[in-house]
Structure 1
Amino acid sequence: MRTPKVLFLGFALAVLAGCGTAVADENGPVWIGAAPPSEPAPSVSSPSAKPKRTPVGVPLKTTPVRAKPTATTTPTKVKHKAHTGPSESLMKTGDTGVALTFDDGPDPAQTPRMLDLLKKNHVKATFCVVGENAQAFPDLIKRIVDEGHTLCNHTWRHSLTLGKKKPATIKADLQRTNDAIHAAVPDAPIKYMRAPGGNFTDRFVTVASELGMKSIYWQVDPRDWEHPATETDGAHKAKIIHSVKKHVGKGAIVLSHDYAQPDTIEAYEELLPWLKGRYKLVALPR
C-alpha cells in the first residue's frame, strides 16, 4: 500500500528540516535548515592553515636604517674608549708631538702648494691618500715620500660605507690602494689607514692591522671641507684658523684636507708659524 510510505516520507522530511543537513557544493558544504556549526580555528600544524599577512599599507616594524653620510654630513658618532677614536683607532700621537694630517689627495692643484708650504716651514706631515688619486698622480706620491712625509691609506675611492662590507671586500680595497702607491714608489712604507668620514668599524681596523697598518682618527677637526655657499673664502679661512688654535694640544692628531681646499692652504700659511712656536710638529713615524 502506498499511503503508509507517503506518511513516513513526510515525517522524515519534517525531521530533516528541523535539524539541517549539508549538500555537497564545489565551494564547500551548503547548509540547509539549521545554522552551521562554528568553524574551529585552524591548527598551526594543519596543512590548510593560512599564514597571517601584513595588511596592505601597514609598514613592517624594522630597525631604523641610518642614512648614508655624504661629503657634507657629520660622521656617525661611535662610542669608544677615552683617548681613542672609533674602534680604538688612534686620535693622539702617543707623545707631545702634534701630527698634521691631510686627506683625500693628491690633488694636482693644491697638494703641490701644501708641500711647498710645509717645505718652507721645515715641517713634516702625514698624507692620507685616495687610491684613485695616487694612481692618477704618481709623481705627487713620489714627491710626498722624497720630502720626508708619511703616507696613509685612505681607501681606493673614499667609500664612506666600506667598513660595513665583508672583510674580503675591505682587504681588496685597501690592498688595491697600497698597490697604487707602490706603483709610484715601490718601497714606500704604508703604516697607517684612515677610514673615510672616520667611519671605522672593528672589522675595518682588524683588516687594516692584518695588512700592517694602524688605524688613525683625529683629535682636532676644523671641518675645512665644510664651506657653505653663503660663507666667504675669508670667513672660511678664519674659521679653520680659529678651530685649530682653539682645540689643538700636545699629542693631538689634526685633520685637514689638501684636496680641493685652497682656503685650507691659506689658513696653514698662518697656522704653521703659530703651531711651530708652541708645539713640536711631527709626521707619524714611517
Structure 2
Amino acid sequence: MTKLCNTTIGAFTYFLFLPVICFILFCNTTVMAKCCEISINVNNNSTYDLELYGRKVKSRYIKDPTNIKEVFLTFDDGPSAGSTMEILNILKAKGVKATFFLVGNRITQYPKTTKMLAESNMCLAPHTYTHQYKTVYKSVDSYFEDLNKCSSAIKAVTGREPVNYIRLPGGSDNEVTSRENLNEIRKKLCEQDIRYVDWNVSSGDAAGPKISKETIEKNIISQSQNSKLVVVLMHDSDMKKTTVEALPFIIDFFKNNGYEFKTFDNVTPKEENIMKKIGVLNRAG
C-alpha cells in the first residue's frame, strides 16, 4: 500500500512540473536563437547586418561572380578605314554593343567613322593619341599629355565627353616603360577617378599581322572557360581582317553560353568590384 502511494505521488509530481520544465527549455532555446540571430538584408551596397546579442555589426558582402554572366567586347587601335565599319555592321546585325578604345590621330583621320560609332551608341573611350610608345611613355607628364589629347579628339568629333575608363597602350603592366613610371601613372589615374581597363581574354590578334580566324576562335573559347565576367581584347585596325571574320562566331559563342553583352558606359559598382577582384580593372603593379 505504501509503495503504491509513493508511486502515485511520484507520478503526480512529474506531471505537475512537466509544463514548467518545458517552458524553461523553450525560453532557453529562444534566448539562444535570439543571441545568434542573423538578419540578412542584401541591398544595392552589397552589405548585410549581423545582430549578435543585440549589437549591430555591418560587414562587406561581395557576391560570388558566378551569379552573373557578362561579356565586354573591346576593340583597340581604331578607327580604321575599313575594319571598324565592318565590325560595326556585324555588331548592329547581331544586336550587341561594344567598347572602342580609340587612337586620337586616327579619330581626326576618320571622323565620319568615329561619328558612326557614336551614333550607333557604341562606347568610346581613350586609348592613346599617337600609340608611339617612346613618345607616350617618355615620362609621366608625356603620358597624360597624350591621353588628354586623345580625350579632346573624341569630344571634338562626337560632341560628347568620353567615359572615364581608359586602356593604357600595351596594358597597365607593360614593359615598355619603367616600373616607376607605370606606378606613378596608375596612381595619378586613380587620383583623377579614371579607371584603367585590362582584359582576361585575348583574341591573340596582336601576336602577328595575320593570325588565323580559327586561332582567334580557339583563343576565345579556351580563355573564357569558367569565367563569368569576361573582358575580351581585340583590335580593329585594317590589318586585323581575321578578327572581323571571327567576330560573328565570337558573338554567337557568348550568346549561346548565356552571356549578357555590356559596355563601359554602364558599369555598375558591383561589376567594378568583380573586375578589380579578377585583375581586369585598376590592376595593381
- Could you say which structure has the higher helix fraction? 2
Q: 2:241 aligns with which of 258, 262, 271?
A: 262
Number of the residue aligned with 1:103: 76
Is the contact made by 1:182 and 1:188 (CA closer than 8 Å) also made in structure 2? yes
Is the contact made by 1:174 and 1:208 (CA closer than 8 Å) also made in structure 2? no
Is the contact made by 1:227 and 1:236 (CA closer than 8 Å) also made in structure 2? no
Higher radius of gyration, 1 or 2: 1
Number of the residue aligned with 1:81: none
Q: For structure 1, which segment, 246-255 or 104-113, has the greater mean C-alpha deviation from structure 2 after superposition?
A: 246-255
AA aligned to 1:264 is: T
- Relative to the length of structure 2, the TM-score reads 0.61
Is the contact made by 2:79 and 2:110 (CA closer than 8 Å) also made in structure 1? yes
What SS does structure 2 have at the residue aligned with 1:218?
A: coil
Number of the residue aligned with 1:283: 263
Is the contact made by 2:202 and 2:234 (CA closer than 8 Å) also made in structure 1? yes
Q: For structure 1, which segment, 108-117 or 156-165, has the greater mean C-alpha deviation from structure 2 after superposition?
A: 156-165
Q: 1:198 aligns with which of 171, 174, 181?
A: 171
Is the contact made by 1:193 and 1:213 (CA closer than 8 Å) also made in structure 2? yes
Unpaired segments ≥5 residues, structure 1: 1-91
Number of the residue aligned with 1:11: none
What SS does structure 2 have at the residue aligned with 1:188?
A: coil
What SS does structure 1 have at the residue aligned with 2:200?
A: coil
Over 3 Å counting, the alpha-carbon distance change for 1:120 and 1:158 in structure 2 is: same
Unpaired segments ≥5 residues, structure 2: 1-64, 174-181, 267-285
Q: CA deviation at 1:189?
A: 2.8
Number of the residue aligned with 2:96: 123
Q: CA deviation at 1:227?
A: 3.4
RMSD (Å) for aligned C-alpha atoms: 2.3
2:116 maps to 1:135: no
- Could you say which structure has the higher strand fraction? 2
Moved over 4 A (4+): 161-164
- Relative to the length of structure 1, the TM-score reads 0.61
Identical residues among aligned pairs (%): 29
Q: Work out the CA distance in 2 between the residues paired with 1:113 and 1:122.
A: 14
Aligned pairs for 1:202-217 within 5 A: 202-217=183-198
Superimposed CA distance per residue, residues 23-71 of structure 1 (whole angstroms, 9 cap, x where no aligned partner): xxxxxxxxxxxxxxxxxxxxxxxxxxxxxxxxxxxxxxxxxxxxxxxxx
Is the contact made by 1:97 and 1:282 (CA closer than 8 Å) also made in structure 2? yes
The alignment covers a number of residue pairs equal to 189
AA aligned to 1:217 is: D
